[in-house]
Structure 1
Amino acid sequence: MKSRFQKTSSKRNLVIAAGLIIWFVVIFGRLIQLQVFQHEKLKNEAIEQNRYIREIWPTRGSILDCQGKILARSLPVPSLFLAREKNEGSEHLFARINALQSIIPLSGRELQRIWNRIENGDRFIWIKRKISWEDLEKVKQAKIAGIFAQTESKRFYPLGAHLAHVLGGVDIDDRGLAGLEYKYNDYLQGKKGRVLILRDAFSRKYDLQVIEPSQPGYDLILTIDSHLQYIVERELEKAVLENQASWGTVILSRPSTGEILAMASFPDYDPNTFPPADPLAQVNRAIQENFEPGSAFKVVLAAAALELKPECLQNVYDCSTGYVSLGGLTIRDHKRFSLLSFPEVFIHSSNVGAIQVAFELGQDNFYAWIKKFGFGEKTGIDLPGEEAGILRPPRFWTIHTLPHLAIGYEISVTAIQLLQVINVIANQGILLPPRILKAVAGQEGLQPLPAPSPVRVMSSFAARELAENILAQVVDSGTGTAAALDCFPAAGKTGTAQKYDPWLKSYSASRHRSLFVGFVPVDKPALSMVVVIDEPRAGRYYGGEVAAPVFREIARRALLYLGESPRRTPRKLILASKENLRSQNRP
């Protein structure tokens, strides 16, 4: 017979055994739940806590000039980011950022962005992008948990402000925002890839696996020649500063192909720090500035008259009064002339004579030829932001419009449009649209772009007559003598335009724009150029005084660089003789 103690002990054992069995069943059931029913879910959560998938930005294509010189390229640089574990508290992340600040200074704006991202619960947070490799080494030595580095590409422009308005600039993600970087962003940026970042229990990266490799972008080869670009930029800056002008622009091209060899605007900016502090410095004045061209537009009038009324070459125009009055409008010559032949009207840039030619031509004919030369439309140059200019149709003209158009007013044009006109004349009436991209290069090799199709705008007779008997004489004996070169006959047209004052609602007598557009040599043009200097304030303002010398200096140095053979003996040839040497007591 069992004692009471034995009975109590037996019951206690049964209770304990039952409890152990129940605990075992619960644990076993929980294990079954975790290992069988929730296995995939928990596995994915564990993997998610220790990995992160990021996009790989491809290496952006380079931009090169026609000689292969690098104008823009992307190089690898490190970027710091914070990888947050799931449910990790914000205070721990703040502490890491504070520890990092002693190594990598962060601005107040950067800190605020990081705090906001932490508070939002983001798991991937950029800390500092595109730092130096030296700074990265300091961060690695600090061994701050959760702080990692990823290699990105940073855009570099090794020549600084050189060709800035053509190249444009990119944002922090290497996306084009202006210029060629924007226009051909799809070609340059390539295709993004994906990378898997694996971390251990201490949030330390231990492996990086490429899921999908990135594909580099295409390289762009331009028609630009860096040496010629340097010449253009130097002479343009010199002219703007010496004449105390607001801005200036120069475009240099090869008329036989339409290729742009140089394009510059001043003031400029350094695309390495894009965007510039002054938004106006970013404007590409060569294609984005509309202006009234003044007497440079008389080239269009002369071309139309020669084409439609070739007998005008025999005409003589009475310019003795020195002015023309029409409906309350008085237009004056820059100096008084007497009788002028048709060529002399343009050689000496007579407003009075040009207006008479315009009335002989008629408004419909003149308008048709203005349109034929492409005014009021974009040239189609492969740069973003090109302006089309402003040209009103005849139904909106007043009694003053025709005489104003004859001398380059009541119309807005761009520098590239004026260059296109002079190229037509240089090409004996053939239009070849301007272009700046020559070829693209990628994994498939070099792919030259097809040449633009030529379009005849005017007859070769009229173009040759205009070039040789008018524009060449402008440089030899007319308003453009400051553009003359000793060894090469040049052709061109000066322009001086009064600027409209919106406050006074009239043209200003003290604000001008100076222009010259031309080509050289006359017989077989190797170069064409347009020069625009806005608001010169150093005393001189005529196109023949301000813009023509810029043409001369650029053309002289460019022809020497291109190896063009002189077409004539210098006008002031200095010969050394034994007699001269003896007179100077030299052997």
Structure 2
Amino acid sequence: MYMVLTLLSVVPLFVLAQMGWIVLTEGSELKARGQNQARSTVEIPAMRGSILDRSGRALAINTARYDVALDPTIDGFEQKSAMFYRKFADLTGMSESRLRTTVAERYSPQYVMLYRGLDEMQRETVEEWDVPGLILSPRFARRYNYGTTAAHVLGHIDTDGTGRSGVELQYDDFLTGEPGWHAVKRDRRGRIKAFVGGTVVKPKHGQNVVLTIDLVRQAALEDELARGVKESGAKWGTAIAMDPNTGAILAMANVPTYDPNHPGRATSARRRNRSITDQFEPGSTFKLVGAAAAVEQDIVSLEDSVETGEGWAVFHGYTMKDVKAYGTISFAEVLSKSSNVGMAKTATRIDEGIFYQYARNLGFGQPTWIDLPGEVGGTLKKPANWSRTSLTSMSIGYEVSVTPIQLLAAYSALANGGLLVQPHVVKERRSVTGERLWTQRPDSIRRALKPSTTDALRPAFEKTVETGTATAAQVSGLEIAGKTGTALKVSGGKYSGDQARASFVGFFPADDPKIALLVIVGEPETSMYGGAVAAPIFQNIARRWVGTFPEVVDHIVAESDTASADVERMTAPSQTSPPTVQARLADASGDTMPDLRGLTTRDAVHWLQKHGVDVRLFGQGLVQKQSPQPGEPLPSTAMVTGE
């Protein structure tokens, strides 16, 4: 028992001795470790990059706000405290007494939150005061400046600032940036205080993304699409415009749409970008595939006669019908009048493997690889899986599923001489200071058709607009080529005319295409035909767009001048503006709208564009009407009407 008591008394002495030895020999090191452990870091968020339209207009931006905290124990604060309380009260609207009370009654001895939400100018002002102990912490919120405009292209972000759809998701890695940090101190309870002289690592802000779309054109396309959907009583609509030579998306819209500022208020259906996610049987717009295969394989020429009879024919027990009986017509008229019988008869002369290969060459059954998330590849069965009626059905756009963007890419190949180009919505990426970091290089996926084939086919698609099923797409003075489509939706295992998809896809100017445009209207009530529902929307968009492309305006005017030159010399005054009329432009100030009446449309458009005005041109010849009127302030957009 004595030995046990002795040991119990010795052990504490031994522990105390060891502790003393550690303090004496390692105390400074432990103290340093404790100090290091007390130090911590606070993240400095990186600013998400902006999304701009092709002209530099900010579509999606960050709004920065700053929270202000204070450590009043820091050396030097007391000397500046009176000045700080007075100026900060004036800056924020808080009372000086409230500020002093907040600091005096703070919970943490060395940390107190004073204010949340300084704007950028207020932050700069506070920093100029150079008050010791202040801690300014940024936080960012995303804002879409134009609400629903281009919503499905832009997409939106999550509550944590991560891209969830559209460009926001596709380019999230570039937009996000890298956060920085600054050193602070924490006590044993985790409370923060300022760390004077502590390390600060600045954040690397995200890159800015420049789109291929133009805000003005996008808004016009959305406006006309929404109006057309409403007038036709349709449930939804989709429209895409693309440069057929480069694949640059000029506009893309869906109705109904949503506001990316409040994505949670919209259903998933409204947020879905139908342009790339929805697939449907295309109907007669798919006749491009059979026409291209038949012409390029020398099976038929545009002038060859095709017997369509009384407007119906039976293929392997399945009856195919036309809208009406056309009798014997040329193959060009098979396309322009959209004869199902004529197309199916022609398709029976095409080898199944060849037909399939042309469909693949034109991009069907595979993604276009557009730089947007969620694209689907459509459905194109291999010949081994075809039924006896597959070839004739596919020749008129059934037993195949496509996406709107695939269909537009295929018609862009017809427009540009046979190249299947890759669509894209981003033009370039820039640093926060504006330095260009990366530029999109337009690329073609493959040669789908020979130039001689597209040259041969194009007149038939022009005739579709001139005298065929798409006369409602005509724009005065503008040559348009295209094709209508009507596809019935399967409902209850049967095709339903009440749930049709009406479409028109075309390009202009037909002989030198700059714009390819697709319009699809879902489940319209007024008519199920693309020529009656989708073509008028195409027309209205084209009318509003044509004046925004100087090269297209010049083309129209040049074509008009060439076509009418002989007649004008014989029957009309010269198309050169009279000297007295020209003098008006010479005297015009550039701040107000001049009197354009009597000028040639070419001269009027040239002057307006020179002064930064977008032009909507109707007609050619001499200017008869204008809006705004002479003397009114020079607008951003003007309307000019020729003879």
TM-score range relative to shorter protein: 0.7 to 0.9
- The CA deviation at 1:296 is 0.8
Q: Give the match for residue 539 of structure 2.
A: 552
Deviation by residue 1:496-527 (Cα, 9 ceiling, x = unmatched): 110011xx211113210010000011111121
Which of 309, 333, 358 is matched with 2:347 structurally?
Answer: 358
- The CA deviation at 1:152 is 1.9
**Whole-angstrom CA distance in 2 between matches of 1:131 and 1:69:** 29
- Residue 67 of structure 1 aligns with an amino acid whose one-letter code is S
Q: Give the match for residue 189 of structure 1.
A: 176
Deviation by residue 1:184-212 (Cα, 9 ceiling, x = unmatched): 11111112222222357994633474443
Unpaired segments of 5 or more residues in structure 2? 1-12, 70-112, 123-134, 565-617, 625-643
Q: Give the match for residue 445 of structure 1.
A: 435
Q: Give the match for residue 597 of structure 2.
A: none
Deviation by residue 1:113-162 (Cα, 9 ceiling, x = unmatched): xxxxxxxxxxxxxx9xx97449xx9xxxxxxxxxx983222211111111
Could you say what secondary structure the match of 1:257 adopts? coil
Unpaired segments of 5 or more residues in structure 1? 1-23, 82-126, 138-147, 577-587
- The CA deviation at 1:439 is 1.2
Greater Cα offset, 286-295 or 566-575: 566-575
Could you say what secondary structure the match of 1:499 adopts? strand
Deviation by residue 1:401-424 (Cα, 9 ceiling, x = unmatched): 111101101111011111111111
Question: Contact 1:200 / 1:206 at 8 angstroms: preserved in 2?
Answer: no
Question: Contact 1:326 / 1:400 at 8 angstroms: preserved in 2?
Answer: yes
Which of 292, 311, 320 is matched with 1:322 structurally?
Answer: 311
Could you say what secondary structure the match of 1:561 adopts? coil
- Asked if 1:157 is matched to 2:144, the reply is yes
- Asked if 1:394 is matched to 2:411, the reply is no
Deviation by residue 1:63-115 (Cα, 9 ceiling, x = unmatched): 1111011111223224799xxxxxxxxxxxxxxxxxxxxxxxxxxxxxxxxxx
- Residue 536 of structure 1 aligns with an amino acid whose one-letter code is P
* Percent of pairs with identical residues: 35
**Whole-angstrom CA distance in 2 between matches of 1:26 and 1:415:** 81
**Whole-angstrom CA distance in 2 between matches of 1:168 and 1:30:** 63
Paired residues for 1:462-481 under 5 Å: 462-468=453-459, 470-481=460-471
**Whole-angstrom CA distance in 2 between matches of 1:559 and 1:297:** 27
- Residue 405 of structure 1 aligns with an amino acid whose one-letter code is M
Deviation by residue 1:20-46 (Cα, 9 ceiling, x = unmatched): xxxx99999867655654554455446
Distance 1:505 1:357, change over 3 A: same
Question: Contact 1:420 / 1:434 at 8 angstroms: preserved in 2?
Answer: yes
Higher RCO (CA-CA < 8 Å; seq separation 6+): 1
Question: Contact 1:252 / 1:263 at 8 angstroms: preserved in 2?
Answer: yes
Question: Contact 2:299 / 2:350 at 8 angstroms: preserved in 1?
Answer: no
**Whole-angstrom CA distance in 2 between matches of 1:263 and 1:558:** 14
**Whole-angstrom CA distance in 1 between matches of 2:539 and 2:499:** 24
**Whole-angstrom CA distance in 1 between matches of 2:430 and 2:441:** 14
Paired residues for 1:201-240 under 5 Å: 203=191, 205-207=193-195, 209-240=198-229
Question: Contact 2:184 / 2:192 at 8 angstroms: preserved in 1?
Answer: no
Paired residues for 1:12-23 under 5 Å: none
Greater Cα offset, 487-496 or 218-227: 218-227
**Whole-angstrom CA distance in 1 between matches of 2:313 and 2:468:** 22
Could you say what secondary structure the match of 1:169 adopts? coil
**Whole-angstrom CA distance in 2 between matches of 1:574 and 1:492:** 29
- The CA deviation at 1:456 is 2.5
Deviation by residue 1:266-291 (Cα, 9 ceiling, x = unmatched): 11111112345301111111111111
- The CA deviation at 1:177 is 1.4
Question: Contact 1:171 / 1:274 at 8 angstroms: preserved in 2?
Answer: no
Which of 259, 262, 272 is matched with 2:261 structurally?
Answer: 272
Q: Give the match for residue 489 of structure 2.
A: 499
Deviation by residue 1:249-280 (Cα, 9 ceiling, x = unmatched): 11111112221111111111111123453011
Q: Give the match for residue 638 of structure 2.
A: none
- The CA deviation at 1:445 is 2.0
Question: Contact 2:44 / 2:137 at 8 angstroms: preserved in 1?
Answer: no
Could you say what secondary structure the match of 2:175 adopts? helix
- Residue 506 of structure 2 aligns with an amino acid whose one-letter code is G
Q: Give the match for residue 304 of structure 1.
A: 293
**Whole-angstrom CA distance in 2 between matches of 1:132 and 1:550:** 46
Question: Contact 1:165 / 1:282 at 8 angstroms: preserved in 2?
Answer: yes
Q: Give the match for residue 53 of structure 1.
A: 41
Deviation by residue 1:220-241 (Cα, 9 ceiling, x = unmatched): 1111111111111111111122
Could you say what secondary structure the match of 1:172 adopts? coil
Paired residues for 1:387-466 under 5 Å: 387-442=376-431, 445-446=435-436, 447-453=438-444, 455-466=446-457
TM-score scaled by length of structure 2: 0.71
Greater Cα offset, 272-281 or 34-43: 34-43
- The CA deviation at 1:54 is 3.1
Q: Give the match for residue 64 of structure 1.
A: 52
Distance 1:300 1:73, change over 3 A: same
Say what the alpha-carbon RMSD is for the aligned residues.
3.0
- The CA deviation at 1:488 is 0.5
Could you say what secondary structure the match of 1:177 adopts? coil
**Whole-angstrom CA distance in 1 between matches of 2:36 and 2:175:** 36
Question: Contact 2:306 / 2:330 at 8 angstroms: preserved in 1?
Answer: yes
**Whole-angstrom CA distance in 1 between matches of 2:163 and 2:62:** 12
Question: Contact 1:61 / 1:216 at 8 angstroms: preserved in 2?
Answer: yes
- The CA deviation at 1:378 is 0.7
- The CA deviation at 1:571 is 8.3
Question: Contact 2:470 / 2:531 at 8 angstroms: preserved in 1?
Answer: yes
Deviation by residue 1:508-553 (Cα, 9 ceiling, x = unmatched): 132100100000111111211011111112x222100110011111
Greater Cα offset, 377-386 or 310-319: 310-319
Distance 1:26 1:490, change over 3 A: closer
- Asked if 1:510 is matched to 2:501, the reply is no
- Residue 449 of structure 2 aligns with an amino acid whose one-letter code is M
**Whole-angstrom CA distance in 2 between matches of 1:486 and 1:241:** 25
Could you say what secondary structure the match of 1:361 adopts? coil
Figure out how many residues of one structure are paired with residues of the other and give that number.
490
